[in-house]
Each structure stands twice: as structure tokens, then as C-alpha cells.
């Protein structure tokens, strides 16, 4: 079976071709970073317009580099939500129209489900059930994943997502967008213990997150240093901020696995590409005898291969969409 998948929930236009038995045949991602960088964040209207320009060439390129044509495709999958509705509508409507014209089945995939299953794109795959941390620009949540279609939320952020905090701190320090990659690069030369930024634990029992206080604390630090005419130790700020985020993510993920009793832990989402988070979580899981599964960085950030895989399971479960099925901005999973 050959699946053509489209992802356009935020600022990347992506398409992929997947043969579930033989894995990913192609995965194309057209980034909009250069469009949004000067605004320090995503401008939704610009994102939608760029998706409209890029959707056709990106789909064509995915088919071409997989060495297939539309005649070979058996199933069309696209992200239905959550995300920016204007962006989602471009990819989802394109997919539904394509399926209608070609007489193909179509599935509308939840972006979170894609991240929750993205580790299954790797050779080394976790068996079900597992506990998963999804940590991206739009979400920071913990889930119990019982099978490819059953996800139970255990906790989520009460305010900013972790990736959003990286992006906002980068904007504050004038480091450009997206913030995660540049902050993690600068943090490598900084001292993670230089500044004692707060860790919001929200009580012993809580598996929820909060990052807005941390962001405010970084802003106050920068403000005070500037007021005192002190030079900003950007590497130390990045390392100390990153450490505060990583500490909480690791602690809550391990607590969630202890709560579910699962022996397998999975991460996904753009922030899961962060080397410090990967190292810290690997060390903690190893010390507790938990098996950790981390997708390669290319499957952490937004991509259509994970949408194809999640779409495949939805197809097997008979979850098809109709031509008039709508996109949604908030995930029912979250
Ligand atoms: O999953 P993703 O591509 O898009 C969303 O669905 O949000 O995640 C993008 C987010 C951005 O906030 C970006 O700053 C963050 O992931 N990110 C990182 C790293 N690479 C990307 N955050 C921390 N460290 C990284 N290396």
C-alpha cells in the first residue's frame, strides 16, 4: 500500500510517500523560516499564502523523489488539526480534493498523533503501550499510548509550550526564529548553573507544565542586567534557561512513566531534537531501567512521514473523512 501524506499545520509545507511495510520512500519539507524570522514568530497570513504557493511543488517533489506517480497512490492523508486554521485548510483541502478527483480514500490526521507515533518510523521501534512526551512549539503534553489509535492525556502545559518558551527567549535575546536550535547551540558554551532560573513543578502529583514564569524570569534577568549596564552573558543565559526547561521535562516524563507503569518512554516534537534534553532523558531512563525511544531529529520537527504513518493506522481503523469534513485548530486529544 502506498500513502501520500501532507502536513501544513504551521509554517512548514511537507509531503511524504510511505509504504508502511518498507518505510519512508520520500519526505519533503519546505521551511518558511526565512519568511517569519524577521518577525520573531509566525505570521499566520503569510504562512497560509506560502502554503498555497508551495503545496503543489512539494507534493510533486515527494512523488518524484519516491519514484512513483499519483496512479500508484492508494491512500491520501493530511493533517486535519491542531494548528493555524488558514495553514491547515490549504493542505487538508488539497488532500481531500485530490482524493475526490482520484477516487481514493482520505484520512484527516491529528498532528499530535503523528508526533506520538513518529518513533515508529525508526528501525528500532517501541512495542505498545508506552508513555510519550510531546514537546513542540505548540504543545507540551504527556500521553499514555495504548495502541496506534488510543491516546490518553496525562498532563499538559497550562500556558506556554516549551518550544514557544525557546522561541520567546530567543526573541528577547535578539537571536532570531526559531529559537530552539540557536539557543541549544549557544548553550553548549554556557554554564547551566550560572543563573538559578525557576522550575515550575505545580505540586508533587501534577503532570502539568508551566513555562511562562520561566520566560518572565529570563526577561527580568535581561532587564536587570541592561539596567545595571552589565554585559549580557548570552551563553550562560541560554544554558541556564535550557537546563530549567530540560529538568522539568525529564522529571515529569519519568513521573508519568512511573504513574502508568510503562517500561517504555517515547519523545516527539521539535524540542525533542534538543541534544541536552535527549542526553538528560537518556541518562535518567537508563538509571531507572526504562527503555527510551527517540526519533531522529528529522522526524522530531514537523514532517509528513509521521502523518502518513498515523494515517495508515486510521485507515486500518476505518476512520475516513468526507469532502466536507472540516479542519480544527484545537486537538481533541489534548
Ligand atoms: O514540532 P515542530 O517542528 O512544530 C510544531 O508543531 O510546533 O516544533 C518547532 C519547535 C520550535 O518552537 C523550535 O524552537 C523548537 O521546536 N525546536 C527546538 C530545537 N529544534 C527545534 N527546541 C529546542 N532545541 C532544539 N534543538
Q: Which helix (H) or strand (E) holds 52?
A: helix 44-66
User: Is the same domain home to 240 and 167?
Assistant: yes
Q: Are residues 86 and 195 in the same domain?
A: no
* Sign of the dihedral defined by the CA atoms of residues 85, 90, 94, 95, in that order: negative
Residue 305 in any domain: the answer is yes
**Which of 143, 294, 130 is closest to 207 using CA atoms?**
143
Q: For the chain, how big is the Rg over CA atoms in Å? A: 20
Per-residue pLDDT, 69:
98
Q: Determine the Cα–Cα distance for residues 119 and 294; give it in Å rounded to an integer.
A: 6
> From CA 33, how far away is CA 77, in angstroms rounded?
24
- Same domain, residue pair 176 and 280: yes
Distance between CA atoms of residues 108 and 315, nearest Å: 10
For the stretch 127-151, what's the b/e string if a residue is b when 16 or more beta carbons lie within 10 angstroms of its beta carbon?
eebbbbbbbbbbbbbbbbbeebeeb
Cα(333) to ligand 1 centroid in Å equals 20
> pTM of the entire structure?
0.95
Whether 140 is in a domain gets the answer: yes
- CB contact at 8 A, 4 and 74: no
Residue 270 placed within a domain = yes
CATH code, domain with 142: 3.30.420.40
Residue to substitute in 82, 301, 330 for testing ligand 1 pocket (most ligand atoms within 8 angstroms of CB): 301
Together in a domain, 106 and 157: no
pLDDT digit of tens for each residue in the chain (334 aa)? 999 999 999 999 999 999 988 789 999 999 888 898 888 788 999 999 999 999 999 999 999 999 999 999 999 999 999 999 999 999 999 999 999 999 999 999 999 999 999 999 999 999 999 999 999 999 999 999 999 999 999 999 999 999 999 999 999 999 998 999 999 999 999 999 999 999 999 988 999 999 999 999 999 999 999 888 888 999 999 999 999 999 999 999 999 999 999 999 999 999 999 999 999 999 999 999 999 999 999 999 999 999 999 999 999 999 999 999 999 999 999 8
Quick one: 109 and 133 in the same domain? no
Task: Please state, in angstroms and rounded to a whole number, the distance separating the CA atoms of residues 165 and 84.
Answer: 18
Ligand 1 centre to CA of 138 (Å) is 9
Same domain, 99 and 133: no
* Residue 197 shares a structural domain with residue 246: yes
Q: What's the pLDDT score for residue 38?
A: 84
Co-location of 70 and 127 in the same domain: no
Q: Is residue 333 part of a domain?
A: no
**Which structural domain, as residue segments, surrounds residue 157?**
123-294
Question: Is 330 domain-assigned?
Answer: no
pLDDT at 40: 79
* 197 and 98 inside one domain: no
Q: Which atom of ligand 1 is nearest to the CA of 138?
A: 7
Give the cell for residue 108. 484527516
CA distances from 138 to 134, 163, 238 (A): 10, 7, 20
pLDDT, residue 230, reads 83
Residue with cell 502554503: 51
- Asked if residue 44 and residue 15 are part of one domain, the reply reads yes
Q: State the distance from the centre of ligand 1 to the C-alpha of 272, rounded, in angstroms.
A: 8
- 159 phi and psi, to 5 degrees? -145, -105
Give all strands of the β-sheet with 23-31 in edge-to-edge order: 23-31, 12-19, 3-7, 75-81, 106-110
Protein residues whose CB sits closer than 6 Å to any atom of ligand 1: 10, 136-138, 163, 166-167, 178-181, 184, 269-271, 273-274, 301-302
Distance 29 CA to ligand 1 centre (A): 14
Together in a domain, 80 and 207: no
Q: Are residues 206 and 232 in the same domain?
A: yes
Count up the domains in the chain and report the number.
Answer: 2
Amino acid at each position: 500500500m502506498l500513502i501520500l501524506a501532507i502536513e501544513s499545520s504551521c509554517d512548514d509545507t511537507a509531503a511524504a510517500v510511505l509504504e508502511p511495510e518498507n518505510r519512508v520512500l520520500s519526505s519533503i519539507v519546505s521551511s518558511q523560516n526565512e519568511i517569519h524570522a524577521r518577525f520573531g514568530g509566525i505570521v499566520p497570513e503569510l504562512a497560509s499564502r506560502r502554503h498555497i504557493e508551495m503545496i503543489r511543488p512539494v507534493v510533486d517533489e515527494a512523488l518524484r523523489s519516491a519514484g512513483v506517480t499519483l496512479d500508484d497512490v492508494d491512500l491520501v492523508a493530511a493533517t486535519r488539526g491542531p494548528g493555524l486554521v488558514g495553514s491547515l485548510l490549504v493542505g487538508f483541502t488539497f488532500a481531500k480534493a485530490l482524493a475526490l478527483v482520484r477516487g481514493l480514500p482520505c484520512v484527516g490526521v491529528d498532528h499530535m498523533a503523528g508526533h506520538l507515533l513518529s518513533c515508529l518510523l525508526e528501525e528500532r521501534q517501541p512495542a505498545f503501550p508506552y508513555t510519550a512526551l510531546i514537546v513542540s512549539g505548540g504543545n507540551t503534553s504527556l500521553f499514555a499510548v495504548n495502541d496506534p489509535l488510543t491516546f490518553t492525556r496525562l498532563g499538559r502545559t497550562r500556558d506556554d509550550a516549551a518550544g514557544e518558551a525557546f522561541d520567546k527567549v530567543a526573541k528577547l535575546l535578539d537571536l532570531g526564529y526559531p529559537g530552539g536550535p540557536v539557543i541549544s547551540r549557544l548553550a553548549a558554551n554556557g554554564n547551566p548553573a550560572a543563573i538559578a532560573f525557576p522550575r515550575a513543578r505545580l505540586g508533587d502529583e501534577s503532570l502539568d507544565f508551566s513555562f511562562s514564569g520561566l520566560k518572565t524570569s529570563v526577561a527580568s534577568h535581561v532587564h536587570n542586567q541592561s539596567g545595571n549596564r552589565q554585559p549580557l552573558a548570552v551563553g550562560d543565559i541560554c544554558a541556564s534557561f535550557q537546563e530549567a526547561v530540560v529538568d522539568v521535562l525529564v522529571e515529569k516524563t519519568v513521573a508519568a512513566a512511573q504513574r502508568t507503569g510503562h517500561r517504555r518512554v517515547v519523545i516527539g516534537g521539535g524540542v525533542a531534537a534538543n541534544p541536552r534534553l535527549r542526553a538528560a532523558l537518556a541518562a535518567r531512563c537508563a538509571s531507572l531501567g526504562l527503555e527510551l525511544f527517540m526519533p531522529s531529529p528529522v522526524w522530531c520537527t514537523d514532517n509528513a512521514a509521521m502523518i502518513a504513518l498515523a494515517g495508515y493506522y486510521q485507515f486500518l481503523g476505518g476512520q475516513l473523512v468526507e469532502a466536507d469534513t472540516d479542519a480544527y485548530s484545537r486537538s481533541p486529544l489534548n
